[in-house]
Structure 1
Amino acid sequence: MKGMITPMTTVTNSRTFTIGLVMAWYSSNIGVLLLNKYLLSNYGFQYPIFLTMCHMTACSLLSYVAIAWMRVVPMQSVKYGAQLGNIVILSIVFCGSVVSGNVSLRYLPVSFNQAIGATTPFFTAVFAYFMTVKMESWIVYLTLVPVVTGVVIASGGEPSFNMFGFIMCISATAARAFKSVLQGILLSSEGEKLNSMNLLLYMAPIAVLLLLPVTLYMEQNVIGITLALAREDKKIIWYLLFNSVLAYVVNLTNFLVTKHTSALTLQVLGNAKGAVAVVVSIMIFKNPVSVTGMLGYLLTVIGVVLYSEAKKRNK
C-alpha cells in the first residue's frame, strides 16, 4: 500500500541514519584535529590552553542545551561529596590530556600525532594493571609489542620530529588512557554511573574553572591579543567559534555512534579514522613523510587491530 512503512524500509532508514552518524563523527573528529593544527601551527595562534578553554566553554553550554532543553539523554544528578570529587579529579586529567594534545600540534604534523595517539591501548593496559591489578591474557600483552614498536620506528623515520612535541603527545595519550581507567574505577558503582554526555555536562564547566587561571597566568593578555587579531582578521573569531562547536560535536557523535552501534565498533572505526586523518592531513598540510615513518604507523595500526581482536576473544 502507498505510504506503508515495511520492516525493510525501517532497517534501511536505520542503516542510513547510522552511516550518517559515523560520517558526522569522522568529519567532526578530523575537522577539529586539522583546524587545531591550522590555528596553532599554520595560522600562528600560539595559545593552546586558551583554545582548550574555548572548547570546554562550548562543551559546557551545548551540553546543557542538548540535555536540559533538547533532552538528547535524560539528565542525571550528581551527589555532592565523593562523586563530585571524583568528577573534579577526572576533569583535571581530562584538561591535561586535551591541553597536551593541543600543545603537541604546534610542533608535530597531524600524521605523526595520530601515530602516537594510536598507542592508547598500551597505556590503558599498563594503567589497568597497576591501578586495578587486572591481568590480561598473554596474547593481549603480546599484541602491544607491534603497537609500541611501530611508534618507535615511526619516530625514527619522522622528518619533522620534535622532542618537546613528542613528549606532549605521549603525555596526552597517556592521560587519555589514565582517564578511561580512572573513570571506570571512580564511577563504577551503580549509584555513580554517568553516561558520557552527562559526564561531559559536569566535567566541562569544572575544566573551564581550572583552565581560566592557568590561561591568565601562562598566556597573559590572550583575550586582548585575540581581539587585536580579530580587528585585523575577523576570520579568527569564526575559526575559534567553529572549532569550539566542533569539539562538542565530536563528543556528541561519539556518544551517538556508540549508542547505535557498540563500543567495539567504535574502536574499529576509530582505528580507521586515524588512518583517514593521516591521509587528509598530508594532502592539506603537505608535511614531508618517509617510507619508514608510514611503515611504523602501519605496524602500530595492525597492532591496535590485533589488540582489539584479542580483547574481544578474551572476554
Structure 2
Amino acid sequence: MHLVEILTTYDALVPVVTGIIITVGPSFHLFGFIMCVGATAGRALKTVLQGILLSSEDEKMNSMNLLRYMAPMAVILLVPATLIMEREAFGLVATLAREDPSFIWILLCNSSMAYFVNLTNFLVLGNAKVAVAVVVSILVFRNPVTFMGMLGYGITVARVVLYGEAKKRSK
C-alpha cells in the first residue's frame, strides 16, 4: 500500500473524531472517556482477531463457530466482573424471579436478542448496528436529541461510511 493511500484512508477519520466531539459536547466526563477508549480498544482487538480467524485458511472457521467459542468466553469474563462491580445483582435477579416468574422469560428473551445481535454483527451488519441502536434509542425510548448531537452523529456516520470505502479502495 502506498503512503498516499494510507494517509487518505486515515484522513477520513479526522471528521469522524470531530463528529464525535460535537456529539458529546458539554457532557464530557473523563472517567466515561477512559472507559470508552478501553471499550473501543477491546472491540478493536476483538474485531481484528475475528477477522484473522474468519479469513485464515488454516482455521477454516465460520461465523457460527466463532460465536460458539466466543460466547462462553464472554460469560467467563463477565460473571466475575458482575460479581465484583455489582455485588447485589444476582440477589436482585433472584428476588425479581420469585416475585414475577415472567422475569425469567424476559432474561431469556434478552439473552436471545444479544445472541442475534452478535450473529448479525458477524454475518452482515458490523458497524451499522450502532446507527440502528441510536435510531431505536431516539424513536422507542424517546431519548432527547439536540441539534448539535444530530449534527455530530450525522458527521460521524457519514465519515465512517467514507472511511470504509477508502479502506476498500486502498486494498
Distance apart, 1:188 and its partner CA: 6.2
Instruction: Note if contact 1:157-1:292 (Cα within 8 Å) is conserved in structure 2.
Output: no
C-alpha distance in 2 between matches for 1:226 and 1:303: 41
Counterpart position of 2:46: 179
Aligned pairs for 1:161-176 (under 5 A) are 162-176=29-43
Let me know the Cα RMSD of the aligned residues. Answer: 2.9
> Which amino acid in the other structure matches residue 46 of structure 2?
K
Call closer, same or farther: CA 1:288–1:162 in 2, change over 3 Å. farther
Call closer, same or farther: CA 1:293–1:184 in 2, change over 3 Å. same
C-alpha distance in 2 between matches for 1:199 and 1:183: 8
Counterpart position of 2:163: 307
Instruction: Note if contact 2:16-2:157 (Cα within 8 Å) is conserved in structure 1.
Output: yes
**1:222 maps onto 2:89 in alignment:** yes
> Which amino acid in the other structure matches residue 306 of structure 1?
L
C-alpha distance in 2 between matches for 1:253 and 1:185: 18
What TM-score comes out, normalization by structure 1 length? 0.46
Alignment partner of 1:298: what SS? helix
Counterpart position of 2:20: 151
> Which amino acid in the other structure matches residue 291 of structure 1?
F
Instruction: Note if contact 1:150-1:300 (Cα within 8 Å) is conserved in structure 2.
Output: yes
> Which amino acid in the other structure matches residue 180 of structure 1?
T
Instruction: Note if contact 1:157-1:291 (Cα within 8 Å) is conserved in structure 2.
Output: no
- Length, aligned pairs only: 169
What TM-score comes out, normalization by structure 2 length? 0.79
Dislocated runs of 4+, deviation >6 Å: none
Alignment partner of 2:140: what SS? helix
Distance apart, 1:142 and its partner CA: 1.1
Note the alpha carbon deviations across 1:277-306, whole angstroms, 9 max, x for none.
323312332222211111011111111111
C-alpha distance in 1 between matches for 2:53 and 2:137: 36
C-alpha distance in 1 between matches for 2:49 and 2:119: 21
Distance apart, 1:163 and its partner CA: 4.5
Call closer, same or farther: CA 1:222–1:157 in 2, change over 3 Å. closer
Distance apart, 1:255 and its partner CA: 4.4
C-alpha distance in 2 between matches for 1:274 and 1:217: 28
Counterpart position of 1:244: 111
Higher RCO, 1 vs 2 (CA within 8 Å, ≥6 residues apart): 2
Counterpart position of 2:146: 290
Counterpart position of 1:3: none
Instruction: Note if contact 2:96-2:103 (Cα within 8 Å) is conserved in structure 1.
Output: yes
Distance apart, 1:225 and its partner CA: 1.9
Call closer, same or farther: CA 1:169–1:290 in 2, change over 3 Å. same
Counterpart position of 2:11: 142
Q: Percent identity among equivalent residues? A: 63
